[in-house]
Amino acid sequence: MKHTPHTIYKKLYKKFGDLHWWPMDKEYHVRNSSDPRFEIIIGAILTQNTAWSNVEKALTNLKSKNMLDIEKIVKINISSLQDMIRPSGFFNQKADRVKNMAIHLQENYDGSLDTFFNRDLHSIRDELLALNGIGPETADSILLYAGNLPIFVVDAYTKRICKRLPLNTDISYEKIQQFFQENLCKKFTQKEITKVYNELHAQIVILAKNYCKKKPACSNCLLKDNCEKNLS
Ligand code: SF4
């Protein structure tokens, strides 16, 4: 039987269980009474074009100075911010993006992420996409993982797996997203769907990093049955 987003989700969930994304230091936020959603927003920007291990180093620097705070990022001198996030690469650009985001949240929502996220998903998405350097993948990661809003994140791994199975060979971000959402919305309730999008994106990242790599390691891949590219 041909794979669908639903069958992939079921298969991978059985193997991986709850993956508890977004990867984040929850204890830090308990200790510092800070908002973990802002760490997710910063992480979604810093992860552009780099490995997550580099983002973790930048986040550790920010945490060591207690900087995971909207107001503090608004006030910080840009060169200090650049220094802290240097390990994530493209640090000049990313410092501007992180600062712009904090200024946007502070000036328009008084720094309240509750106010920011408690609106229509598409209005928030359009607003995020209008900010410099925020593309669909970053915007949707923020909406799904920080805002807990029902939108599926498409990344290069999703496109790779879609092409290899094949599932959907379209190259457009929006068309792939629509394909996943239409299929999954038929199988899950409105109440369930955000968690499904959350888990499925995390599952795809793990599958692509461990099995469906650039050079695929198909012999132990959970999707190898009915995969046209299967090399095992
Ligand atoms: S069988 Fe191979 S090509 Fe197909 S999804 Fe798995 S790792 Fe990728």
Q: Is the pLDDT of residue 70 over 90?
A: yes
| pTM listed for this prediction | 0.96
CB proximity list for 221: less than 8 A, separation 6 or greater: 207, 211, 212, 227, 230, 232
Task: List all residues whose CB is within 6 A of at least one atom of ligand 1.
Answer: 161, 164-165, 211-212, 216, 218, 221, 223-224, 227, 229-230
Give the DSSP letter string of 136-182.
HHHHHHIIIIIT--S-----HHHHHHHHHTTS-----HHHHHHHHHH
| 8 Å CB contact between 137 and 155 | yes
pLDDT exceeds cutoff 90 at 149: yes
Q: Say how far apart CA 167 and CA 161 lie, in whole Å.
A: 8
CA of 32 to the centre of ligand 1 (A): 43
Ligand 1: residue of 3, 4, 160, 164 to mutate (most ligand atoms within 8 A of CB) is: 164
Nearest atom within ligand 1 for CA of residue 227: 4
Look at residue 228 in the predicted model and tell me its pLDDT: 94
pLDDT at 208 over 90: yes
pLDDT at 23 over 90: no
pLDDT at 168 exceeding the cut of 90: no
58: left (phi over 0), alpha (psi -120 to 50) or beta: alpha
Nearest ligand 1 atom, CA 222: 6
| Residue showing tokens 């760490």 | 39
Q: Are 220 and 204 in contact (CB under 8 A)?
A: no
Ligand 1 center–CA 155 separation, angstroms: 17
Q: Is the pLDDT of residue 35 over 90?
A: yes
For the chain, give the mean pLDDT: 96
Q: How buried is residue 37: exposed, middle or buried, by Cβ count under 10 Å (0-12/13-18/19+)?
A: buried
Residue 155: its pLDDT value, please? Answer: 96
pLDDT digits (tens, 9 = 90+) for 84-124: 999 999 999 999 999 999 999 999 999 999 999 999 999 99
| Residue 11's pLDDT band (cuts 50, 70, 90) | very high
Cα 182 to chain centroid distance, Å, stands at: 20
99/107 Cα distance (integer angstroms): 12
21: CA distance to ligand 1 center in Å?
A: 23
Average pLDDT on 167-177 reads: 89
